[in-house]
Structure 1
Amino acid sequence: MTMNNRTIAGSVGILLLFLGSWEWGPAAMGMPEYVLPNLSHVWHEFFVMWNNSELLKHTLITAVEVLLGFGIGAFLGLAIGVALGLSPAAEAMLSPYILALQIAPKVAFAPLFVMWLGYTIYPKILVAVLIVFFPVMINVLSAVRTVDPDMVNLIRIMNASRWQIFRLVEFPSAMPALFSGLRIASTLAVIGVTVGELVGGNLGLGYLLVDSEGQGNTAGVFVAIVGLTLIGIVAYGGVVLAEKRVLHYMPKANLATA
């Protein structure tokens, strides 16, 4: 059996162990259903919510919010990270304000966004944008600022323009750090959207989570949590796939593993 096959077999074994523990563990520990429902109960509740609570609709809404928040936040993080990386003066001038905004708990902005924009999808997207922005921006900024100066000097000797230096040296050098930030941001986007839905909203998996909690439906809470987790896994997997396609020319040891 090859290393790859052993890895897959090990992962499947851990998954089966987890699912088995979830199915029979609560009863073995004497755990009441309203505290920790077993897997069968959660599975049954999934079909109930699918038929009666428009689970697919709420899942798609959350997925769209995550996609938009992630995309907008990543684009802003990339653009501002590059701009500040290329301009030390601008970074020095803006760094105190960027640091203050980074330190501020981003989820605390969710109620404010709801007050401004109402119970729409926009507050959820904005929270996701705010959370996604920083890891992408910081990674890109650091990468642009640490480009090998010898490479820059070499291409300058060849009479390259400022745009060519950026396109041929600085931006490609920042790509691994960019994808490292995108991996982190893809999971944080789900957190941002969920917080926005928890604070104010009548759509999305976060809303279903709050609704199930209000009804004392623990199995429904688990259904929402599993749905959010799957969205995060898909988002993370999409970033990993894009990274492999874009950075296929780089040795595996050099790829970001965050």
Structure 2
Amino acid sequence: MTVTLDSHTAEAAPTGAASAAPIPPRNTSRTTPRRSRRAWVILGGLLLPLVALASWQWLSASGTVPAYRLPSPASVWQAGIDMTVDGVLGQHIAISTQRVLLGFLIGSVVGLIVAAVVGLSKVGAVLLSPSLGALRAVPSLAWVPLLILYLGFSEDQKVTLIAIGAFFPVYTTVASALRHVDPQLVELGRTYGLGRLQLLRQVQLPAIIPTMVSGLRLALAQSWLFLVAGELLGASMGLGFLLTDSQSNGRLDRMFLTIILLAVLGKVTDALIGLLEKYLLKRWG
């Protein structure tokens, strides 16, 4: 005797694993556009340097610009290899990078503290803002003779100069941003019983993360600028010293190499600030 099921009964009857809902395939439609956008961003960023490099090679190879005014890319590359083999280039890079990072760290931390005082306190703004605004207008090279007088041609002099350069962009951007935080957010935090430090950490700082990161980026660019200013006028090692030494010895290839290295190092350290921004947005965003 055979038992037959009609179509409705067969559809309704569960049969173990066969009745389980099928697992939908992983959706890769989102990751693919992201990868393609990232690739386009990388290619777009490399386009201008490649065009500049090709133009540079053409100008030097065609003789349009004489070699004593424009060295070829190959000669600059060879100069970098020679200095790397001698171990000198790595020392210049390491010393300058150490000076920049240390001065940037000191200047940024002090800038954040002073910005919090000026941005959150009316008394602090009245007492500090005019004087700091006047000091901000002092050119970078004007600080060098004074620092040499007090600190000599030492590491402290160079780090202090870099810290001064990093301080003002952080102070200016963060103090202004703190003064313009949405008052309703601040009032809401006070309603929940947050103290000043808790309010700063949980409400005001998260609200100004993009502005703060912009200030840090400006401070980092200023740090490299002040580094070169400090090393040009008194140093025995570092990329700024390498610039002046190459000029004195007529090594135009090393001068171009130093400028390229400063650009690359500036971009790498700026990328580190970008990673910091992602971390802060993930934590407080």
The equivalent of 2:114 in structure 1 is: 80
The equivalent of 1:237 in structure 2 is: 271
CA distance in 2, matches of 1:42, 1:177: 38
- Quick check: 1:34–1:217 contact (8 Å CA) kept in 2? no
1:59 and 2:90 matched = no
The equivalent of 2:154 in structure 1 is: 120
CA distance in 2, matches of 1:168, 1:245: 15
Bigger mean CA offset, 3-12 vs 126-135 = 3-12
CA distance in 2, matches of 1:120, 1:249: 39
Shift, 1:163, TM fit: 2.7
The equivalent of 2:182 in structure 1 is: 148
Q: How does 1:1-258 map to 2 (within 5 A)?
A: 2-28=36-62, 30-52=64-86, 54-248=88-282
Gap change, CA 1:13 and 1:94, over 3 Å in 2: closer
- Quick check: 1:190–1:231 contact (8 Å CA) kept in 2? no
How does the TM-score come out when normalised to structure 1? 0.90
Cα offsets for 1:88-112 (capped at 9, x unmatched): 1221122221111001112221232
How does the TM-score come out when normalised to structure 2? 0.82
User: Larger relative CO (CA 8 A, sep 6+): 1 or 2?
Assistant: 1
Gap change, CA 1:26 and 1:210, over 3 Å in 2: same
Structure 2 portions without partners, runs of 5+ = 1-32
SS in 2 for 1:243: helix
Gap change, CA 1:11 and 1:170, over 3 Å in 2: closer
Bigger mean CA offset, 44-53 vs 208-217 = 44-53
SS in 2 for 1:247: helix
In the alignment, residue 232 of structure 1 is paired with which amino acid?
A: G
Count of aligned pairs between the two proteins: 251
Shift, 1:84, TM fit: 1.1
Shift, 1:77, TM fit: 0.6
Shift, 1:129, TM fit: 0.7
The equivalent of 2:28 in structure 1 is: none
Bigger mean CA offset, 152-161 vs 191-200 = 152-161
Superposed CA RMSD = 1.9
